[in-house]
Amino acid sequence: MKLIFLVLGMLPLLAQAADTSTKINVSSCEVCHGKNGVGKNEFPRLGGQEPAYFVKQLQDFRAGTRSNPMMQSVAKSMSEADMAQYAAYFSKLPLPAAKASTEDAALLAEGESLAKNGDWPKGIPACFQCHGENGQGISRDFPQITGQPARYTAAQIANWKSGSRSNDAIGLMKTVSDKLTDGQIKAVSAYLSQGVTK
Ligand code: HEC
Ligand code: HEC
């Protein structure tokens, strides 16, 4: 009997030891990014993102080449090992199920066409040409863009246009963003927010 009490008494200690060994605190991210990092409004979805891209963004926030007061202060307190652990955790979460946008059908059709075909007369390549089939991402350099809140996607494109985000390799996204009209940004952001709709 005494032995059982002794073992039970040790359980909380064992649980504590497991917590401190991982060091990362996912719920501190979920406060803004939502449960399981699903994202909402200006807070991007973290689940399913390319892990090397995820780490690069944290490094860029820390270095200041991507500016956002909230994330810069979060990233400044992280070590390289923390960044890798958060990236490993969130990248393994599954994509949320596709959900229909409430925007009107004509706008969504315009967004779909931009994502899949681009707008060649204006020199805009298809988004999926760089971001992979259905925008699911390819590598460190070409992130997943499907399933992001529309407000977040539109804000990033606006940031490249204004120059407040300047961390894209060889200016690829800056070049694309500069050519997009406000209507096209709204359309493609709404279309992408629906997630993978294969
Ligand atoms: C106070 C709110 C807040 C907290 C807490 C927070 N974030 Fe963020 N995070 C943001 C916002 C806002 C953005 C979008 C910034 C922008 O518009 O450029 C962002 C962007 C990111 C990005 C870039 C995503 C992409 O697709 O480019 C990563 C990665 C990220 N956060 C990871 C984390 C991690 C890991 C944690 C927890 C340790 C965390 N965040 C905690 C607000 C927050
Ligand atoms: C020529 C290649 C190319 C094309 C075409 C392209 N992108 Fe990108 N995009 C990039 C690169 C490179 C990055 C990564 C920037 C970085 O490293 O921070 C990126 C990043 C993004 C991001 C930021 C993701 C995040 O969460 O941080 C969004 C949003 C985005 N692209 C949307 C689009 C949309 C919408 C289109 C189509 C209208 C498009 N892209 C077309 C190359 C491209």
Distance CA 100, CA 132 (A): 21
Cross-strand bridge partners of residue 119: 124
Cβ pair 165, 55 in contact under 8 A: no
Tens-digit pLDDT profile for residues 73-105:
999 999 999 999 999 999 999 887 888 999 999
Distance CA 15, CA 34 (A): 25
Tens-digit pLDDT profile for residues 25-39:
999 999 999 999 999
Tens-digit pLDDT profile for residues 115-145:
999 999 999 999 999 999 999 998 888 999 9
Closest ligand 1 atom to Cα of 25: 38
% of the chain exceeding 90 in pLDDT: 75
Is 129 near ligand 2, meaning CB less than 6 Å away? yes
Cβ pair 131, 137 in contact under 8 A: yes
Cβ pair 145, 139 in contact under 8 A: no
Rounded CA Rg of the chain:
20
| The predicted structure's pLDDT at residue 71 | 96
Closest ligand 2 atom to Cα of 49: 26
Domains of the chain with CATH codes? 25-91 (1.10.760.10), 105-193 (1.10.760.10)
Find the helix or strand (DSSP H, E) in which 180 lies: none
66: phi then psi, degrees, rounded to nearest 5: -120, 120
Binning pLDDT at 50, 70 and 90, where does residue 197 land? low
Please determine, for residue 8, whether its predicted confidence score (pLDDT) is greater than 90.
Answer: no
Tens-digit pLDDT profile for residues 138-186:
888 899 999 999 999 999 999 999 998 988 889 999 999 999 999 999 9
- For CA atoms 107, 111, 155, 177, the dihedral sign is negative
Cβ pair 165, 67 in contact under 8 A: yes
Is 111 near ligand 2, meaning CB less than 6 Å away? no
